[in-house]
Amino acid sequence: MVLLTLALGACEGGRWEVGVQASSRASMASSTEPAPDDTSGVAHRESRTPRATPWVDATPAGEKGEPPQHPPELPIRLSVNPGCGFRGQSLQAVIRTESDVFVSVTVYYSDYRMYGTHGGGVSSDEGRFVYNWRIPASAPSGWATVDVIGGREGPQGTEVGRADGGFVVADVGGCA
């Protein structure tokens, strides 16, 4: 299992930090590094947390008026099938991107809760990743959002991308 963490945060001196962190379950379990002292939820460059990819410094424009540096954008497309479902029904998110991209999928239901529907992995050589799940019995009816974030270390540095889509959780007889 691979954990992909993306973060954007302001650090000391008004500097922006954008980052992708990819860790395997084995490396997370075997790490002896102390946790960072910062509890804000945003990792800073000084953090001693192990990471497989470096952080990209996205410093605001300097004295010479240079634009801030942003990580290269990674193309990510998402389709969710079916577009309407009932509690207990299986759904599938198909993500198309480039090869060897760390992909994280999270489903947020109409009450903004996940109900355990999140996962991830690495896209295939063809750039495809499929995430299957069942709509939880306790999920509320209404619109649910599928949020996909991807990242990898590319030839020009860390590349990140995002896509979102959704589906309707219907009551019995509610899907047309």
Tens of each residue's pLDDT in the chain, 176 residues: 444 454 444 444 444 344 444 444 444 343 333 334 433 333 333 333 333 333 344 444 444 566 656 677 999 999 999 999 999 999 999 999 999 999 999 999 999 999 999 999 999 999 999 999 999 999 999 999 999 999 999 888 899 999 999 999 998 778 87
User: What DSSP state is assigned to residue 124?
Assistant: -
Global pTM reads: 0.61
Where does 77-169 sit in CATH, by number?
A: 2.60.40.1930
- Going from N- to C-terminal start, the domains of the chain cover 2-57, 77-169
Contact 55, 18 (CB under 8 A): yes
Q: In whole angstroms, what is the distance from residue 174 CA to residue 166 CA?
A: 16
pLDDT for the residue 25: 43
- From residue 175, give the alpha-carbon distance in Å to each of 108, 120, 142, 167: 19, 28, 11, 11
